[in-house]
Amino acid sequence: MSSIPEHLKQVNQRIREAAEAWGRDCDDIQLLAVSKTRTADEIAEALKAGQHLFGESYLQEALEKITALRGANAQWHYIGRVQSNKTRAIAENFDWVHSVDKAKQARRLNEQRPQNMPPLNVCLQIKVDEEESKGGLTAKEAEALIEEFSGFTRLRLRGLMTLPAPAEDFEGQRRPFCELRRLRDRLATDEIPLETLSMGMSADIEAAIAEGATIVRAGTAIFGPRNPVISRN
């Protein structure tokens, strides 16, 4: 028997316990099952066990799975790098994008989101540590880009996302999440409350919840060690 339903139960239990420990309402925290490199059958199993939000990083394999599972009650979140040649497929196939970190890509997504679909939900990816290899906006860049969103009628800016370097200890895990929350508090307005904080992965869900995560993104905790990438584009 597959362990996916069992693992989902365990992760949801972790979320409930962390919410309780930190005085949060667990209904304010959603689990995004990161299904990159997993098959459509594995996703179907998770769906059957009650999981509905799925995160994908590699566009080509994602599109195949979205097509295969059309009609299932799945919500698709793109969490990979957003290159210009991918914006159209993202705009046409996903419900959310967590990883927008360039104004140009935001403009393209806005232009390319089909009129017959609801606005595309967007989080801005923020670089909270000094890891040069990773994408993400600085606080200053994020502030400037948020101002442009009033002109993006096909996008709905929901909040901020971060993908910090792994840290071993709880306090080290909390630090970047704390920074993201503070940035959100500083940039939020009545018009754009930035209510979403997409932060925390399998190893640091609890630290993210302690700092206010509203979407935690877990892959290996649900599906086990990652398969080799099916197609990385």
Chain residues binding ligand PLP by CB under 6 A are 34, 36, 57, 79, 163, 201-203, 217-221
- Distance (Å, rounded) from C-alpha 72 to C-alpha 57? 20
Q: Which is nearer to ligand PLP, 93 or 202 (CB)?
A: 202
Closest of 40, 28, 31 to residue 70, by C-alpha: 40
75 burial type by CB count under 10 A (0-12 exposed, 13-18 middle, 19+ buried): middle
Q: To the nearest whole angstrom, how small is the minimum distance from the Cβ of residue 79 to ligand PLP? A: 4
Q: At 29, which amino acid appears? A: I
* Least separation in angstroms between CB 190 and ligand PLP: 29
Least CB distance from residue 202 to ligand PLP, whole Å?
3
Beta carbon nearer to ligand PLP, 178 or 203 = 203
CB of 151 to ligand PLP, least distance (A): 27
- What H or E segment, with its residue span, contains residue 98? strand 96-100
Q: In residues, how long is the chain?
A: 233
Encoded tokens for 114: 């089909």
Q: Is the CB of 120 or the CB of 163 nearer to ligand PLP?
A: 163
Q: How far apart are CA 71 and CA 40, in angstroms?
A: 13
Q: Which is nearer to ligand PLP, 95 or 148 (CB)?
A: 95
Residue closer to ligand PLP by CB (options 155, 218) is 218
Report d(CA 176, CA 159) in Å as an integer: 16
- d(Cα 20, Cα 16) in Å, to the nearest integer? 6
Tokens of 98: 């967590």
d(CA 233, CA 163): 20
* Shortest Å distance, C-beta 222 to ligand PLP: 8
Number of H helices, E strands in the chain: 9, 8
Instruction: State both tokens at 210.
Output: 């302690």
- Of the pair 30, 57, the CB lying nearest ligand PLP is at 57
- Name the residue whose CB lies closest to ligand PLP: 219
Q: How far is the CB of 36 from ligand PLP (least distance, A)?
A: 6
Minimum separation from the CB atom of position 223 to ligand PLP (A) = 8
Nearer to ligand PLP, 144 or 165 (CB): 165
